[in-house]
Amino acid sequence: MRSSVKKSIFAVLLIIVVIIIGSMIFRKDPPPNIVFIIIDTLRADHSHMGDDVAGETPALKKLFKNNSAYFGTSYSNAPWTLPSISSMITSKFPSEIGVVKRNSKIDEKFITLAEVLKENGYRTHGVITHIFLKKKYGLGQGFDTYLEKIDSSDNNLFSVTSPIVTAEAIKIIDENKEKPFFMFLHYFDPHYRYVDHENRSSYKGPFLPDENEAKKAEIIKENLFSQNDLEYFKECYRSEIRFTDIHIKRVIEKLKEQGLYENTLIVIVSDHGEEFGERGTLGHGQSLFDEQTKIPFILKLPGKFEPSVNIRPSFSNIDISPTILDVAGINIPASFRGTSILDEKGSETIFMEVNEKKYDTLYNQCAIVHKGWKLIKDFENNKFELYDLNGDKPEKSNKFNSNKKMFFSMFKILKRYIRMIEDNKHISQKTNLTAEEKKKLETLGYIGN
């Protein structure tokens, strides 16, 4: 009798052990939370992306230190917000989705990152602070909640949004601790108009907050700014970046406080850069030079990834969504043009384009970056520019006439991309802008449409 009882107990214990071992073998790691942060207008050379860069994002650099984080640079596929971020979330070039003008929108036929994540069980939340990211432009597709923290009728040109975005992000984290979430945050403050948050500047000139706005717009449009004005812009721009850096830090700290940081994939990137007189102008949207298209990139992988994971050295906006899905263990849609940056077999060539009017000039250009060289095709002026990015980082010495061998090699690749764009070009639906929205865009430097 005792023997049979012992056998029964042993059998039960054996079953329990088998169940435990089986669950350990077949148990899947929980899917990572995903935090995707875009810092508007942040140039690569004004951030801490790289050990030897004295940038303006010390909080982020310190927070991610000693973690499996990659600090580097990427390229935007367009030098202004709407086409750039549209490319990020659809993994297609701007012309392929027809988002190249200020009234373009993403058609519902195109799959977005948020839609894919929602279909795979994620709660999807967005907080945005730019008119171009409103639902009316199609960027809200796939989100459970999409907070537009901007008032188009607000004429306070120096409004500050970073604290608002971070406050909403903290709420989202608090309310989504039990199920994987995707959080898309857009920080607008480094975009013109600038605020000197630390009040460090001794500048006295036409661009102080209380000066005439029409006069400011005219100076920028006609490129009549002085060197003193430029230095003031740069000083305020750096102040805006430091201010934004502090508020993003609070989001990361909240993830740590809630015990979510370790299993969270974090991507931090910009939509485009900013020109400060390098070509005689201010702003963005008018060229494909590095000051407008080279952007910072941070990738903090979930804890299961080793810090030594291989990152492809050359990539752009269209590769961000595939990378996020790859890390999350989700199949990448066949419609996505880009590839995960963890895939070393991805393209070595970056393609970018702009086809929009600013002030009274149409900028219609495309370019490729390939193995340290950049070739720009200007359709309006029917000319080429060729630059050695390793030997000429400021892109001041056009090698079009002096290095024909390299030009023809690059042009062969560029023609392939132009043909591909022509074959896949999409004419998108248009969105109607209100009078208030048009006025707001004018104050932000988007003039001449």
Phi, psi of 158, rounded to the nearest 5 degrees: -110, 30
- For residue 377, is pLDDT > 90? yes
pLDDT band per the 50, 70, 90 thresholds, residue 445: low
Give the per-residue pLDDT at 365.
94
Segment 193-244, tens digit of pLDDT:
888 888 888 899 898 888 888 888 888 888 899 999 999 999 999 999 999 9
In percent, how much of the chain has pLDDT > 90?
A: 58
Single-letter amino acid code for the residue at 295:
I
Q: At what angle do helices 320-328 and 81-90 cross, to 10 degrees?
A: 30
Q: What is residue 124's DSSP assignment?
A: E
Segment 116-133, tens digit of pLDDT:
999 999 999 999 998 889
Give the per-residue pLDDT at 344.
80
- In the chain, where the domains are located: 31-348
Give the per-residue pLDDT at 449.
41
| Structure token digits, residue 10 | 């042993």
Omega before 193 cis (within 30°)? Answer: yes
- pTM to 2 decimals? 0.88
Give the per-residue pLDDT at 444.
64
Give the per-residue pLDDT at 65.
64
Give the per-residue pLDDT at 323.
96
Cα–Cα nearest to 297, from 314, 309, 284: 314
Give the per-residue pLDDT at 24.
39
Give the per-residue pLDDT at 428.
77
Work out the end-to-end distance of the chain between its first and last CA atoms, rounded to an integer number of angstroms: 93
**Longest Cα pair distance anywhere in the chain, in angstroms?**
102
What fold does the segment set 31-348 form as a domain?
A: Alkaline Phosphatase, subunit A (3.40.720)
Please give the residue that has the higher pLDDT: either 333 or 200: 333
- For residue 18, is pLDDT > 80? no
Question: Mean of the pLDDT values across residues 352-356?
Answer: 92
118, 142, 229, 312, 426 from 113: Cα distances, Å: 9, 8, 40, 21, 19
The distance of Cα 94 from the centroid of its chain, to the nearest Å, equals 14
Phi, psi of 88, rounded to the nearest 5 degrees: -60, -45
Q: How many CA atoms does the CB half-sphere of 401 hold within 13 Å?
A: 3
Please give the residue that has the higher pLDDT: either 150 or 331: 331
pLDDT band per the 50, 70, 90 thresholds, residue 30: confident
- For residue 305, is pLDDT > 70? no
Please enumerate in sequence order all residues whose Cβ is within 8 A of that of 100, keeping only pairs 6 or more positions apart, or say none: 78, 83, 94, 353, 354, 355, 356
User: How does the average pLDDT of the chain come out, rounded?
Assistant: 86
Please enumerate in sequence order all residues whose Cβ is within 8 A of that of 298, keeping only pairs 6 or more positions apart, or say none: 49, 60, 64, 69, 70, 71, 266, 267, 268, 269
Give the per-residue pLDDT at 75.
95
